[in-house]
Each structure stands twice: as C-alpha cells, then as structure tokens.
Amino acid sequence: MRDMRWMLAALFVGSVWAANVKLFLTDGTWHWVREYQVLADRVRYYSVERSDWEEIPLSLADLARTQAAVASVRQADAAEKKAEAEEAQAEREMRREFRSVPAAPGVYLRQEGAAMQALEQAELKVVNDKRRSVLKAITQVPFLAGKSTLEIDGGTGRRTLAEERPEFYIRLSNVERFGLVRLWPGTNKKMPSRIVEKWDIMPVVKEVVAERQEVEIFRKQVGEDLYKVWPMEALPPGEYAWVQYSEGKGNTQAWDFAIARPR
C-alpha cells in the first residue's frame, strides 16, 4: 500500500492545471482547487475558496474521480484551443481571399483553389413599343412614360455554371442596392433576349418602378463596398444576373450568368 502511495506521489507531484477543478472526497463532496499534489500519505492543494494551500489525508481523497474530472477539463481545454486555432486559421485564409478580389468594381466568381474570375458586365437596353435604346452603366436615357423592359441580348448567358449555389464577391461602384435576380425570357422570338426588369415609367416625374424576380441571398460585408454573396438555396437551372441599382432611377447595372441543367 505504501508503495502505491509513493507511485501516486511521483505521478502527481507538481501537477498544475490550466483551470480550476474539483478535488473529490470519498464522502462525495469536493473542494474547488487550482492545483493539487499527492505527497505520500496526504494531498496538498491550493484552495480557490480560501486562496491558500491546505492538506488532507490521502485516505479522504477520491483520486480516481478527481483524475477523471481533470482529464475532462484538459480535453475541453484542448478542444477549445483547437477550435480557436482553426477559427484563426480560417480568418487568415478569408482575409487572404478578400485581398485577392480585384480592386475594380464588378462581380467576381469564387472558385475553390482558383483565382477570382470576373463576370462580364452585360450591355442593357430599354425596349418599348416605339424604339430600342441602349442603356449604358449608370447613364440615364430619355425615358418614355408607360411600360418598358430592361433586356440583355441573347437567349443565354456567356458564362454557364454547374454549381447550384455558386459564391461571388461584388465590389460596388457606388453606395447602391444590389441583389440576385432570375431573368425572364424575352418575347421577341426572332431576336432572343432576357428580361432583367419590367418597368412602369411614371409620367411627368419619369420615375421608374421596376419589377424584378429577386432571389434570396446571404450577404457578408468584408470591406468597404465589398461583399461576399451567395444564394440561400440551390438555384434551379435558368438565367440569372447580379444587379446594382438605385430605386426609381433606371440606372441598373447587370452581370449575367446561367445555371446549367443537370445531365
């Protein structure tokens, strides 16, 4: 028995814990201790409650239960440190990713392990019953009161993605609203196009009331006028565009793409 006590003493002398633990007693109670040592026939411990060193006979200490509690504390501490290290690493990687987004305003496709790919800005046109006119980015056109559509030529986008929930970065050119919209097919079968917005243009004031098929997105601001954005749910196959705009101004910008149909 005496040999066993000396073995315990050799094992626990100088043990210091990273957090307060319970030193359990054989009667089921415990002391909150900062650290403890097994010394031959007694246990010496630093009492958290009284901020001083104290001793009890070894026979009163439930060392097996105490060791289990210490192991649990150590495991929890190790898991917390691992999680903190992983979070710090993820933040460093995210900051590197943010810095890789080009400085020029626009929309950039994020692809794992690859450089950011810029989406081409679409050339938009206002279509009404009387004429067609091209709408340059952030440039007003002489609107006609009534109904019009804002369109992109072509039946499909130049970039087709296989991912159902692609991730993008958008760097705004101005402090404006932005979002993801699904495009309507144009009505002119001879000249295929896609409709970004349907406009009601108010007479006199020439204010534009725009209708869009908005898609719900997650957005995270990661810099001045820079956002990481992605759809909340998988996108069905079809035509889409990221848009930047000011309500009522008719100054929409668009970056279009398509989601491929599964093979």
Task: Please write the tens of the pLDDT for every residue from 161-173.
Answer: 999 999 999 999 9
Q: DSSP assignment, residue 20? A: -
Q: Are 180 and 242 in contact (CB under 8 A)?
A: yes
pLDDT for 258 equals: 96
Cα separations in angstroms, 83 against 44, 77, 79, 173: 34, 10, 6, 37
Cα separations in angstroms, 55 against 37, 59, 70, 92, 256: 9, 12, 19, 48, 75
Closest of 104, 199, 190, 203 to residue 155, by C-alpha: 190
Cα–Cα distance measured from residue 188 to residue 203, given in angstroms and rounded to the nearest whole number: 26
Residue 215 has pLDDT above 60, yes or no: yes
**Structure confidence at residue 21 as a pLDDT band (50, 70, 90):** confident
Q: Sheet of 21-24: strands edge to edge?
A: 21-24, 30-39, 42-47, 52-57
Domain positions in the chain = 2-97, 106-259
Cα–Cα distance measured from residue 102 to residue 226, given in angstroms and rounded to the nearest whole number: 10
**Structure confidence at residue 187 as a pLDDT band (50, 70, 90):** confident
How many CB atoms lie under 10 A from the CB of residue 114? 8
Q: Are 181 and 196 in contact (CB under 8 A)?
A: yes
Cα–Cα distance measured from residue 129 to residue 146, given in angstroms and rounded to the nearest whole number: 10
How many CB atoms lie under 10 A from the CB of residue 247? 12
Task: Spell out the residues 6+ positions from residue 114 whose beta carbon is closer than 8 angstroms to its own.
Answer: none
- Only one residue has tokens 């993605």, namely 161
More confidently predicted of 92 and 43: 43
**Which amino acid, residue 113?**
G
Mean pLDDT over all residues of the chain?
Answer: 84
Closest of 38, 41, 39, 40 to residue 57, by C-alpha: 41
Cα–Cα distance measured from residue 173 to residue 59, given in angstroms and rounded to the nearest whole number: 75
Cα–Cα distance measured from residue 83 to residue 141, given in angstroms and rounded to the nearest whole number: 54
Task: Spell out the residues 6+ positions from residue 222 whose beta carbon is closer than 8 angstroms to its own.
Answer: 94, 98, 169, 228
Cα separations in angstroms, 135 against 168, 184, 201, 256: 25, 18, 15, 15
pLDDT tens by residue, 102-148: 999 999 999 887 888 999 999 999 988 554 444 433 344 455 567 88
- Only one residue has tokens 């848009």, namely 243
